[in-house]
Structure 1
Amino acid sequence: MNFKILCSDLDGTLLSTKNNVSDFTISEVHRIKERLKIILVSARMPKSMTYLQKRMGIEENPIICYNGALIMEKNKELSSTIISAEQTKALNTLAESYDIKLGLYHKDEWCVGQSSERVEKEVFNTKANPILEPTSITLERWGKTKIGPHKVMLMGTKTTIDAISPELQKDFSSIMSFYRSNDTLIEVAPKSVSKLKAIKALLQPNESLNDVIAFGDNYNDIEMLQNVGVGIAVANARDEVKSVANKVTLSNKEHGVAQFIKDHL
């Protein structure tokens, strides 16, 4: 297989543990990184991706953060799309009526109203620490400087997340995209962004989507896998993702991306 670019999701895909890449993955990345540009594509914030870049020796490459809402190259911002503070206030009002908490993300700033088991799990998984302040205060502060979140995380229970989902589609689907991470979490992104659009934005004049091989596991990877030259799902991917992929490799815990690279690249 001849490709110019390898794009990979992180959580549940390239990462074999919750917060790191395996030595096997590092070895395979080192073997191919001179002939393939390796771009990490994630819902994570920049600083939760750059330490992984350093582990793999690919710091010179761009990263696609927040499902495409922020594209960075080293410390340079290439593209940024936010949800306005006012739109987020309306979202928070609805969330509060269901007793659902918000996590707010802008560049490397992560703000939550209070710590919780869920928040502590993310601290461990992403090596980032949040600012603890009421959501209303964060939005007032951001509103004064005309910024808003690149990503919002809705954190509730299965019951409350089930209940709010149709309301989100009815009230906000024209300006926001919603990805259910699991039973208790929904990731919110600006409507105009996606991983695929971000990859397209990084293509050079002599490159096309056919030059890209991509790996993923979740709903927000489907469009990417469907439209690149070859889309690979890991074995632990959602069934909907595996159904659109060209191929399925081993699970993330079995280092599926690295194994595919070894066998085919």
Structure 2
Amino acid sequence: MRYKILCSDLDGTLLSTKSDVSTYAIEQINKIKNDTRIILVSARMPNAMRYIQESLGITNQTIICYNGALVLSGQQELNSVVIPINLLKEIYSICIDLDADLGLYYSNEWYVPKTSIRVEKETKYTKTTPTFESTSTTLSNWEQRKIGAHKIMLMCTKESADKLMPRLKEKFSDELNLYRSNDTLIEIAPKSVSKLSAIKLVMDSNESLEDIIAFGDNYNDIEMLENVGFGVAVENAREEVKAISKYVTLKNTEDGVAHFIEEHLVN
């Protein structure tokens, strides 16, 4: 197999732990990175991806952040799409009487109203630090700066997420991507972008989707895996993801991506 570009999701896919890429994965990517562009594609913020790029020795490559809402080449923005402030205010008004905190992300900025187990986990696993301030303060500051959110992470209880998800879908499904990543987390992103749309943006004129191999594990990877030349799911992926993939490799905790690279991509 020869591909011009390898795109990989991070959490649950390329990362064999909650936060780091393994020595084995680094070794295998080192074997192909001179002939294959390695592009990391994640819901993470840039700083939560940069240290992984550094570990892999691919800081010269583009990164796709926030599921495609922010695409960076070095410090240069290739694309940036945000959720506008008016929608942020509406979402906040719906959440304010429920047990749900808004994590608001813009570029390398991350704002939360208070700490929690979820915030502490995110800080530990992504090696990033939030700013603690009330959501109303953040929204007021952002309105003055004329910026919006690349991503919203709604941190809920199961009960509040059960109530919020149908309300949010009914009101915002035409404008926003709403994705329940587990019982207590709802991720919200601009509707006009996706991992696939961002990949198309960074392709050179002499490259096609057939020239790309991609790896993923979750619902937000399906479109990417379905449309590239070869989509690979890890064994721990959602069943729907494995069903549309051309190949299922080992679990992320067993270095499935690295094993696939060694077995199929290394000459």
- TM-score, L = length of structure 2: 0.98
Residue equivalent to 1:36: 36
Question: Aligned runs of 1:39-58 on 2, under 5 Å?
Answer: 39-58=39-58
Output the CA distance in 2 between the equivalents of 1:167 and 1:186: 12
Correspondence for 1:69: 69
Answer yes or no: is the 8 Å Cα contact 2:234–2:249 preserved in 1: yes
- Note the C-alpha offset of 1:18: 0.6
Alignment length (residue pairs): 265
Aligned AA for 2:166? P
Unaligned runs of 5+ in 2: none
Please say if 1:111 is aligned against 2:111.
yes
The alpha carbon displacement at 1:90 in A equals 0.3
Q: Note the alpha carbon deviations across 1:33-55, whole angstroms, 9 max, x for none.
A: 00100000000000000100000
**In structure 1, what is the equivalent of residue 189 of structure 2?**
189
* 2-structure distance, mates of 1:179, 1:255: 26
CA displacement at 1:97 relative to structure 2 = 2.8
**Structure 2 residue aligned with 1:233:** 233
What whole-Å deviation, never above 9, does each CA across 1:144-199 have from its counterpart, x for those lacking one?
11101100001111121112111111001111101111111011000101000000
2:111 is paired with a residue of what secondary structure?
strand
CA distance in 2, matches of 1:25, 1:228: 22
The 8 Å contact of residues 99 and 157 in structure 2, kept in 1 or not, is answered as: no
Query: Per-residue CA shift, 1:233-260, capped at 9, x if unaligned?
Result: 0000011111111110000000000000
Taking structure 1 as the reference length, the TM-score comes to: 0.99
Cα RMSD over matched residues? 0.6
Output the CA distance in 2 between the equivalents of 1:58 and 1:167.
41
Structure-2 separation of matches of 1:220 and 1:21: 21
Query: Matched residue of 1:19: which SS?
Result: coil
Residue 71 of structure 1 aligns to which amino acid in structure 2?
A: V
Determine the structure 2 residue equivalent to 1:14: 14
Paired residue secondary structure (1:232): strand
| CA distance in structure 2 between the aligned counterparts of 1:188 and 1:213, rounded to whole angstroms | 26
| Rounded Cα–Cα distance in structure 1 between residues aligned with 2:96 and 2:214 | 37
Match of 1:255 in 2: 255
Shift, 1:141, TM fit: 0.2
In 2: Cα distance, 1:182 partner to 1:18 partner: 16
Aligned residue for 1:157?
157
Q: Measure, in 2, the Cα distance between the counterparts of 1:16 and 1:93.
A: 38
Contact 2:28 2:258 in 1 (8 A): yes
CA distance in 2, matches of 1:95, 1:249: 39
4+ long deviations beyond 2 Å: none
5+ unaligned residues in a row in structure 1: which ranges? none
Other structure's SS at 2:35 match = coil
In the alignment, the residues of structure 2 paired with residue 33 and residue 80 of structure 1 have an alpha-carbon distance, to the nearest angstrom, of 26
1:101 is the counterpart of 2:84: no
Cα deviation digits, residues 29-79 of structure 1 (max 9, x gap): 100000100000000000000100000000000000000000001111111
Note if contact 2:61-2:74 (Cα within 8 Å) is conserved in structure 1. yes
1:145 aligns with 2:145: yes
Q: Equivalent pairs: percent with the same residue? A: 56
Task: State the SS of the aligned residue for 1:97.
Answer: coil
Give 1:125's aligned residue: 125
Cα distance in 1, alignment partners of residues 148 and 237 from structure 2: 31
Who is 2:167 aligned against?
A: 167
User: Which amino acid in 1 is paired with 2:209?
Assistant: L
Report the CA distance between 1:98 and its aligned residue: 2.2
SS at match of 1:6: strand
